[in-house]
């Protein structure tokens, strides 16, 4: 029987590989959940999902491969988001990059959404919604 603590490193590694960590997109120590806004995107490494909204940067700071969400200070921010449809562009899918100017509030959680182009083969635009 496997001990729970022995399984923890493997579970953490799997979580990082799947891109489920949250990037701290503000300076200083970690703030309480009620003091920041969380934006949830898609994991950069995914398997078979037809659509992914990947956060590439926040206010000019690159968001690493292991992050699928970001924690932001309240206020105005700029996001750079990739919309990937049906795999990579070289595998018959489409990828497009979208710049978003957003306003977020402390203690709120947001998610990225895509409006698809006719035929559902590419993203027409990306928006932020409160979740």
Length of the chain: 131
Report pTM: 0.78
Q: Please state whether beta strands 21-24 and 67-72 pair in parallel, antiparallel, or not at all (unpaired).
A: parallel
pLDDT in tens, 47-67: 667 889 999 999 999 999 899
How many C-beta atoms lie closer than 10 Å to residue 103's C-beta?
10
Q: Supply 29's token pair.
A: 């120590």
pLDDT in tens, 8-51: 444 444 444 445 799 999 999 999 999 999 999 988 766 667 88
Distances, alpha carbon 30 to alpha carbons 25, 27, 33, 93, 105, in Å = 10, 9, 9, 38, 17
Mean pLDDT, residues 80-95 = 73
Number of structural domains, the chain?
1
Kindly tell me if the per-residue pLDDT of 89 is higher than 80.
no
Domain span at 107: 4-130
- Mean pLDDT, the chain, as a whole number? 83
Integer Cα distance of 25 and 62 in angstroms: 9
Q: Please state whether beta strands 51-58 and 37-40 pair in parallel, antiparallel, or not at all (unpaired).
A: unpaired
Q: Supply 54's token pair.
A: 């990947």
Please compute Rg for the chain using Cα positions: 16
């Amino acid at each position: 029987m496997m001990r729970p603590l022995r399984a923890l490193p493997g579970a953490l590694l799997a979580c990082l590989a799947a891109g489920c960590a949250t990037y701290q997109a503000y300076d200083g120590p970690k703030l309480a959940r009620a003091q920041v806004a969380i934006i949830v995107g898609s994991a950069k490494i995914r398997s078979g999902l037809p659509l992914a909204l990947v956060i590439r940067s926040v206010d000019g700071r690159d968001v690493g491969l292991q992050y699928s969400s970001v924690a932001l200070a309240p206020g105005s921010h700029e996001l750079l988001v990739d919309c990937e449809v049906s795999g990579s562009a070289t595998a018959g899918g489409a990828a497009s990059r979208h710049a978003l100017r957003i306003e977020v509030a402390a203690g709120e959680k947001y998610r990225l959404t895509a409006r698809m182009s006719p035929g559902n083969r590419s993203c027409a635009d990306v928006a932020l919604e409160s979740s």
